[in-house]
Structure 1
Amino acid sequence: MNKKMKSLVLGATLLVALPILGGCGNNNIGYVDSMKVANSTEKGLAITKEINAKDKELQAKVAAADEASRQQVIQQARQEFTAFSNAKASEYRQYQEQQINELVKEKKLDVIIEKGAVVGGGTDVTDDLINKMGKASDADIKAAENEANAAASQDAQAQAQPQESAQ
């Protein structure tokens, strides 16, 4: 091939490649705060309530068990709780993933990632996802926060009691 032909082929190749290479840095990335979404949506709060109710049910079952069968009841309760909470978490993830995929299309984003993975840039679409998934009422959000705080306080007290009685 002569020099002129090589130059034309190289020039044509560069002409075709420039738009492809030019688009490599222009990704539209969105990010969400998953914890805020879970704590601010009807679906997230409903699943949290279901998991908490199952936990209380199983705790009552353990408390009602006699001393001879207590360890077996505890082990069964743990297995049942793990299976239940995993199923509910999977249900929530599938629903959230469906809503995220729709949001990607609506906002013309290339990807949506977790907020913690973003060092800088990107577009926060947390509130958009919350609205898409169904924002819980402020009263429901506040009630869930109070319930979580009460449960954390009870857990702290329960852990402190065995330490106090050991002293």
Structure 2
Amino acid sequence: MSRSWKRLAAAAVLALSAGVLAGCGGADNVGVVDMQRVQKEAPLVQQYKTKTEEKQKSVEQELQSAKGTVSDEEYQKKQQQAQQELNIFAASMQRQFMSDIQSKLAEVAKTKNVGIVVIKDAVPNGGIDVTDELIAKLQ
């Protein structure tokens, strides 16, 4: 699950970067964000992770309680339904997370007067670090 959050965060930053770059053609400033720190420190990210973990535990408990009371065929159907439910829930959480990251990062970029925000590892030297501001906005 952690890898998917990292991929999602990277995609969110890149998508926002493209949008900011397209909308602010004349700006020379580059903002950088450390997504690893954001994932570790931002309370909103932790809330999404907690919700996803709680949903997974809930579904697992439902499956465990159904295991002894239904036939093997019905149990397999329940497992498939549970997996579908988890996939839909995770996709929903990822969309919400991506939307939150993009909107908050756009606010930070505007206040810091940067034309583009990229992942810190993508910029070899310099850039305006906006990580702390993003973490603060993701309360």
Give the TM-score, by structure 2 length.
Answer: 0.71
The aligned counterpart of 1:118 is 123
The aligned counterpart of 1:54 is 55
> Distance in 1 between the 2:55 and 2:99 partners?
21
**C-alpha deviation, 1:35, in angstroms:** 3.1
The aligned counterpart of 1:96 is 101
The aligned counterpart of 2:87 is 82
The aligned counterpart of 1:145 is none
Matched residues, percent identical?
A: 27
- Which ranges in structure 2 are unaligned for 5 or more consecutive residues? 1-24
Letter in 1 for 2:137: K
The aligned counterpart of 2:75 is 70
1:20-70 residue CA offsets vs partner (Å, 9 max, x unmatched)? xxxx9x721111122321331221111111100000011112222335122
Letter in 2 for 1:120: N
RMSD: 2.1
> Distance in 2 between the 1:40 and 1:118 partners?
22
Letter in 2 for 1:91: Q
The aligned counterpart of 1:164 is none
- Which ranges in structure 1 are unaligned for 5 or more consecutive residues? 1-23, 135-167
Q: Segments of 4+ in structure 1 off by > 3 A? A: none
The structure, 1 or 2, with the larger RCO (C-alpha pairs under 8 Å, 6+ apart) is: 2
Q: Does 1:107 align with 2:112?
A: yes
Give the TM-score, by structure 1 length.
Answer: 0.60
Q: Which has the larger radius of gyration?
A: 1
